[in-house]
Amino acid sequence: MPEVTKEQIQAAIKEYVEPDLERDLVSANCVKDIAIDGDTAKVKVELGYPAAGSAERLAAAVKERVLGVPGIAKADVEISCQVQAHSVQKALKPIDNVKNIIAVASGKGGVGKSTTAVNLALALAAEGATVGLLDADIYGPSQPRMLGVSGQPESKDGSSLEPMQSHGLQVMSIGLLIDEETPMIWRGPMVTQALEQLLNDTNWSELDYLVIDLPPGTGDTQLTLAQKVPVSGAVIVTTPQDIALLDARKGLKMFQKVEVPVLGIVENMSIHICSKCGHEEHIFGEGGGERMAKQYGVRLLGSLPLNAHIREETDNGNPTVAAQPESRVTEIYREIARRTAAKLSLQAKDYAARFPRIVIQND
């Protein structure tokens, strides 16, 4: 029998389309090495996104394809993850110590954007990434309560802030700097300036992802923030009802306008399951997020149920992903996190950080 070639192994792996990536591993440039020793093949796969929850499944799928190659009796598959920095809007520079910023937005309030943002951040961390969360909703900062964080952030040098820590996340919010019941009676420019300061003057520590919970809506404040914050990608949160989808479309178009890639749509409160009898009911309509995703050529990252536990847990400072790590809802959040990060991993990389800064000094 002729010797097995790397090309044969590669062709076999190419037949498997990874569900989170929606691409095969070869064309996504994730297969880093193939070594063949007699009837044994060793394959090294390096993903550009955290995937603790799917690594086992992925290794088994690759192994199955490799063992299907005639002449191969044993296959070893090694899965690793390396998150890279991705490019941002042309006129902006990335934030120090932050590889990627993911903006979570909604066209209107009341669709569960902040709940989705905090659970997305926790899910990315559960998948193996180093994650921060910036509460940019200046008028209604809710993340301190959702994460059970209180007290004021420390400043070691008098000019920058140390992020608070909660459930493994680095957290910053205007809500940590003011009294919880103090209304923010600020005009647009003050809001933008406050957010820029929170973003730039926080000592983030080597983050793979910084999730930003943006204010709801698509007005001047949101547009300015989208233009001034160096974002690698955005996630749009909506509910299935037509009025929410109408506003979500505006949010999607706003990001397209400022050249921020939309990574996908999360459909919240998609179905209600009765806690007494198990009856399923689409209270806010059905399939709206999927139709919108198809219309604009973006991915439906996932659909979340209308669930009393989600609200109760976030109200108590212990969001679902942290409170119930083995639950089906947490599984959905983690699927959404992997799909979001996988989509981002396919985008253009930012190589600026790899090059040394050259400083010319006159003696």
Binding-site entries: 107-114
Q: Nearest-CA neighbor of 260 among 225, 294, 295?
A: 225
Question: Which residues are part of a known binding site for ATP?
Answer: 107-114
CA distance 78 to 63: 10
CA distance 150 to 135: 14
DSSP string, 276-320: TT--EE-TT-SSHHHHHHHHHT--EEEE--B-HHHHHHHHTT--H
User: How is residue 311 written in tokens?
Assistant: 């609200």
Give the side-chain half-sphere CA count within 13 A for 126: 26
- Dihedral angle computed from the Cα positions of residues 145, 333, 200 and 231, in that order, rounded to the nearest 10 degrees: -140
CA distance 133 to 234: 14
- Is there a contact between 236 and 248 (Cβ–Cβ < 8 Å)? yes
